[in-house]
Structure 1
Amino acid sequence: MLHINVNILNAGVFGGSWRFPGTDPAGSFTVEHYTAIARKAEQARLDAVFLADGPVLDPGIRHRPGQNLEPTTVLARIAAQTERIGLIGTLSSSYNDPAELARRTGDLDFVSGGRFGWNVVTTAGPAAARNFGRTSEPEHAFRYQRAAVVTGQVVDAWKSRRELASPQGRPVVVQAGGSTDGRRLASQVGEVIFSADQDLEHARRFRAEIRDGAAAFGRRPEEIVVLPGLSTVVGSTEAEARARRELLDELLPDAYARRRLAGQLGISLDGLSDDEPIPDELLVDPDEAGGSQTFYRVVKSIIDRDRPTLGQLLKRLSGGGGHRIVAGTPEQIADDIETWHRAGAADGFNVMPDVLPSGFDDFADHVIPELQRRGLFRTEYEGATLRSHLGLPANQEVPS
């Protein structure tokens, strides 16, 4: 069976989603925005809701609303209003103390009945570093070395709990990383691996590499769940989906799209015309890039393969960061999901609807039933914990 999460990313993954007709641009400032989507996700029998986060106020707030509420706070409210849906929250391993992390996340797992998963991130970007009194972000390799140590300490603290112990053994460790350091960390500690991939064959190789890496660490590769990000634009007809995508492209604030892409590539786009490609001399090898090497790698592969102009690239990404976008009817989107799943490129997807809540309503009401008709997705939960949804064993060891 497929595993599917919904990423509740403020007003939607598209950079202009908050400007879409009928959408409340300030909705993500209210906890009801998240709880309503979570209840809908539980009705659709999704594995989990997922909250991204960074310990910083994104300067792009002038162009679109950002993430506004701390994940464990929101997930505690969601836990109180749901019964089965998994709860995955992002917390930085670079800027949090492991003992405090273990207590906060362990308590949330306990009160939710064993439904929590921790998305371990190393937090790229100088803005976050300045928020913690540092003049620059830690070096890339060091961030991942620290992440491995901190994750091990948190897991040990979870396992040592005798009171308020988790009904699922311990929370699930979730990780995302496409760089060399990130893939090693995923193989070492990750149980659910989020990825960003545009190409099916590359996604197959990535999944195989992570599983082989896990085996090298003495882990069972079949207990690794790989979920690429998937942005969806659903229409009742192909033409309707295409028109919705085109409108979202028109609503994308150009300044936001440029700033986000410049941040992903670590270069300045000032002075570059929308009608010309990004010059090759501005782009370094992905392993030499600072910040998020995962998204740098994805964007650079698009540039190398398709040679788009800057304007074409901005529209292709739609301000969404580089995750694959599929626009079409429910049947067409289900076809795409099934193709990737059967090809061994994905165990499921971390779905990022174009607009929230309307885009997720369309996905839950029309794509999920189509996947269920094909026998690819559950119609009922078999268990009550996140581990049971994901088919993961309790108390899986994480190598030191």
Structure 2
Amino acid sequence: MTRQLHLNVNILNAGVFGGSWRYPGTDALASYGIEHYTAIAKKAEAAKLDAVFLADGPSLDPSIRHRTGNNLEPSTVLARVAAQTERIGLIGTLSSSYNDPVEIARRLGDLDYVSGGRFGWNVVTTAGPVAARNFGRTDEPDHGLRYRRAATVVEQVVAAWAGRTELRSPQGRPVVVQAGGSTDGKRLAARVGEVIFSADQDIEKARAFRNELRSGAAEFGRNPDEIVVLPGLSTVLGSTEAEAKRRRDLLDDLLPDAYARDRLAGQLGFSLDGLADDEPIPAALLRDPAETSGSQTFNRVVRDIIDRERPTLRQLLKKLSGGGGHRIIVGTPEQVADDIEQWFRFGAADGFNIMPDVLPSGFDDFADHLVPELRRRDLFRTEYDGTTLRDHLGIGLPAVRAVDRSSLVSAK
């Protein structure tokens, strides 16, 4: 069978752009209601996407002052989505730092069963002091400690799923999804990840990342062909190139400046106060990504942009547009399909975690115009071949690693 793309849609409140909630015709408060998520999921299922994905964090993000957020807990939302759909995969984020493995195994195992084998768990280690304070801690756990705990938590959860004798789903157990570009993150992905979300702006680096993960999986005794790497991709579509560029320009104009600055400061690990808009960020302020305690992945992505393009602060804020660092493509469905096809055939991606600019309109454009173009190129399915998330991804059940149930690393 011809190798084809895997596509998820990230239902990120009003869209990945920081000003998406202000886009004309958009309901800024839609992400506070369940219908926002179920409607997009139904559209994704009609387009035969692999899955819908919900990001989350166990805290109230201070950026709520500047934009709407993800406001409903993922497993709650996905239970409702499961009841209103039949085939689409359901991937939800739950923290390995601030959740108990026994509770995760029960909750997500039951969701996988009641959904007919469609669930995936996006494992995150939860960087940032805001979440730590939410759990009564003075600061976030050390980066290495978070990932050691994550490895142990995942192995205990997977062992619990594998040990079920009742309420077993058709796919055996949920799919383990993970994202991490740091040394610790890549090792965790190679050890336990089945679907890997990534963030790369450069096609060569993306291919090297995918090859590194596949080699790492083989070192752990895993089949590298059952590692599905999905870079994040934001799409801005128009019926003409000029129309798409106008849409992007408007989104840049709608971006709350304070939100963009706070987000970039968080990624870089220092305040932007006092820096000149029309000058590059001083090199003396930049730190090696490995020295940061927060998200090393997005720190690295932003540092790569700075090193490669030498943008002014204003140019960098515009390039990121509050989206965090995932690659943004602006153009017609044919132009965006050209880019997707290039990355896929080059071996830089097995597919993409699609992050539409605005929801729902940006995803409507993707499903109605870009998906048909991908099908014309024989790059994407026209029908589902199976009923489970593992069926859609074309992966089986990896062996269960032996775990020491007394070895759970405390995140304190």
| TM class, shorter-length | over 0.9
Alignment partner, residue 410 of structure 2: none
Alignment partner, residue 336 of structure 1: 339
Residue-by-residue CA offset, 1:170-219 (whole Å, 9 max, x unaligned): 10000000000000000000000000000000000000000000000000
User: Are 1:152 and 2:158 counterparts?
Assistant: no
**Do 1:177 and 1:186's aligned partners in 2 also have CA atoms closer than 8 Å?**
yes
**Do 2:9 and 2:51's aligned partners in 1 also have CA atoms closer than 8 Å?**
yes
Residue 351 (structure 2) aligned to one of 341, 348, 351? 348
- Distance in 1 separating the partners of 2:303 and 2:401: 33
Letter in 1 for 2:227: I
- Distance in 2 separating the partners of 1:215 and 1:8: 32
- Distance in 2 separating the partners of 1:138 and 1:336: 39
**Do 1:217 and 1:399's aligned partners in 2 also have CA atoms closer than 8 Å?**
no
How many residues are matched? 400
User: Are 1:99 and 2:121 counterparts?
Assistant: no
Residue-by-residue CA offset, 1:287-338 (whole Å, 9 max, x unaligned): 1111000000000000011110011000000100000000000000110000
Unaligned ranges ≥5, structure 1: none
TM-score normalised by structure 2 residue count: 0.96
Alignment partner, residue 274 of structure 2: 271
Alignment partner, residue 161 of structure 1: 164
- Distance in 1 separating the partners of 2:358 and 2:42: 17
**Do 2:214 and 2:225's aligned partners in 1 also have CA atoms closer than 8 Å?**
yes
User: Are 1:178 and 2:181 counterparts?
Assistant: yes
Residue-by-residue CA offset, 1:369-399 (whole Å, 9 max, x unaligned): 0001110000000000000000011354357
Residue 306 (structure 1) aligned to one of 306, 309, 317? 309
Alignment partner, residue 242 of structure 2: 239
**Do 1:188 and 1:399's aligned partners in 2 also have CA atoms closer than 8 Å?**
no
Letter in 2 for 1:385: T
TM-score normalised by structure 1 residue count: 0.99
Alignment partner, residue 144 of structure 2: 141
Q: CA deviation at 1:166?
A: 1.6
**Do 1:6 and 1:48's aligned partners in 2 also have CA atoms closer than 8 Å?**
yes
Q: CA deviation at 1:143?
A: 0.2
**Do 2:222 and 2:398's aligned partners in 1 also have CA atoms closer than 8 Å?**
no
Residue-by-residue CA offset, 1:12-53 (whole Å, 9 max, x unaligned): 000000000000000000000000000000000000000000
- Distance in 2 separating the partners of 1:205 and 1:178: 12
Residue 393 (structure 1) aligned to one of 390, 393, 396? 396
Alignment partner, residue 230 of structure 1: 233
**Do 1:45 and 1:378's aligned partners in 2 also have CA atoms closer than 8 Å?**
yes
Q: Secondary structure at the match of 1:272?
A: coil
User: Are 1:39 and 2:51 counterparts?
Assistant: no
Alignment partner, residue 129 of structure 1: 132
Letter in 2 for 1:383: G
**Do 2:162 and 2:400's aligned partners in 1 also have CA atoms closer than 8 Å?**
no
- Distance in 2 separating the partners of 1:204 and 1:60: 33
Unaligned ranges ≥5, structure 2: 404-412
Letter in 2 for 1:128: A
Letter in 2 for 1:212: S
- Distance in 1 separating the partners of 2:257 and 2:398: 47
**Stretches (4+) displaced over 2 A:** 394-400
Alignment partner, residue 19 of structure 1: 22
Residue 28 (structure 1) aligned to one of 10, 21, 31? 31
Residue 52 (structure 1) aligned to one of 33, 55, 59? 55
- Distance in 1 separating the partners of 2:71 and 2:281: 33
**Do 2:7 and 2:354's aligned partners in 1 also have CA atoms closer than 8 Å?**
yes
Segment drifting more, 17-26 vs 162-171: 162-171
Q: Percent identity?
A: 77
Alignment partner, residue 328 of structure 2: 325
Residue-by-residue CA offset, 1:330-376 (whole Å, 9 max, x unaligned): 00011000000000000000000000000000000000000011100
- Give the 3 Å change call, closer, same or farther, for CA 399–344 of structure 1 in structure 2: farther
